[in-house]
Amino acid sequence: MTDAAVEPPLVRSLWGATHPGPTLVVTVLALALGIAAGVEPWRLAVLVVAVFAGQVSVGLSNDAIDGARDAAVGRTDKPIAGGAVTPERALGVAVASAILAIALSLPLGPALVAAHAVALASAWAYNAGLKSTPLSIVPFVVSFGFFPSFATLSLSPPALAAWWASLAGAALGAAVHLTNVVRDLDDDRRTGVRGLPHRLGARASTVIAACGIVVGAVAVFAGTDATIAGVVFLAAVAAVAVGAVALVFVRPPGRAVFRLTMLAALLLAAQLVVA
């Protein structure tokens, strides 16, 4: 059997370089927020596809730019670092996906186009170099802070999301960045990446992420009518976040702490949808 025969198909390799998990989670969150906001079906369909295209562009550009770094630390499980896709091809598809995302946003109005463009530019800025600076958290705060407004800006007439939704989105973005990077601190240091989490350290990053998630949950609770579901979500987010903070002081931050913090973040996302 030749090497070419065992190589994965190009489309599957490209998909593997998009960070499929986060891409699908963010797309589903856009769908859920759109349904909760009452976006009419055709607008909702366009919004979901636009968000999906945008996330594909962000994931592909990240791996294309980081291809050499990933190869240097042995991340051959990644399609670009493993040679299944060239960085140039991945970057070309990423640019095309970003253009498609903005084009799909056009029928939903100039306000959504502007918000989506800012969020994508912010994410690309992170991939292009901000990840190695103390400002690495800013793109996540900006992009996720705008994200709840994607649904409300797709309405007719459009409107920005409520302050508490934007604050919760920003807190969620900060937590995702601080927590996700913790897993790769050593590999990142070896390749010269020193963003905010690298400077803070794993323990401080986890504590700040957990506290931010609680702040977001409190904002959602304060900005909405007090219901049994609201109380349950707030209590659940707080309990999981406190558990993550407690665990990080008992043992070195590892997979269990990461999972707990991400569970708290997912609960916050769910609270934002049902609020």
Instruction: Judge contact between 230 and 166, C-beta under 8 A.
Output: no
Report the run of H or E that residue 123 belongs to, with start and end.
helix 110-128
What integer pLDDT is reported at residue 5 of this predicted model? 43
Phi, psi dihedrals of residue 252, rounded to the nearest 5°: -60, 140
CA Rg value for the chain: 19
Report which DSSP code applies to 133: S
Structure tokens at 267: 């609960």
Looking at residue 259, what is its pLDDT? Answer: 83
Comparing CA positions, the residue from 112, 7, 94, 10 lying closest to residue 56 is 94
Is the distance from CB of 197 to CB of 205 less than 8 angstroms? yes
- Residue 202 CA to residue 184 CA, distance in Å, equals 10
The domains of the chain, with CATH numbers, are 1-160 (1.10.357.140), 162-275 (1.20.120)
Q: Return the closest-CA partner of residue 233 out of 269, 261, 202, 208.
A: 269
Task: Please check whether residue 54 is in contact with residue 108, taking contact to mean a CB–CB distance below 8 angstroms.
Answer: no
Question: Is residue 49 within 8 Å of residue 2, measured between CB atoms?
Answer: no
- Virtual CA dihedral for 172, 178, 184, 190, nearest 10 degrees? 140
Amino acid found at 39 = V
What number of other Cβ atoms are within 10 A of residue 85's Cβ? Answer: 25
pLDDT value at residue 186: 66
The 10 Å Cβ neighbour count of residue 66 is 22
Question: What is the pTM for the complete model shown?
Answer: 0.90
Alpha carbon 253 to chain centroid distance? 21
Q: Which amino acid is at 139?
A: P
Residues in Cβ contact with 180 at an 8 Å cutoff, skipping those fewer than 6 apart = 258
**Of 85, 79, 70, 77, the residue nearest 193 (C-alpha):** 70
Q: Mean pLDDT of residues grouped by 10 in the chain (275 residues)? A: 54 92 93 95 98 97 89 83 91 97 97 97 96 95 96 96 96 90 68 84 90 95 90 95 89 77 90 89
For residue 76, what pLDDT is reported? 80
Q: What is the pLDDT of residue 1?
A: 38
Residue 48 · residue 31 · CB < 8 Å: yes
What token pair was written down for 52?
């999906």
pLDDT in tens, 182-210: 766 666 667 777 889 888 988 899 899 99
CA distance 78 to 111: 36
Q: Does the N-terminal peptide bond of residue 157 adopt cis geometry, omega within 30 degrees of 0?
A: yes
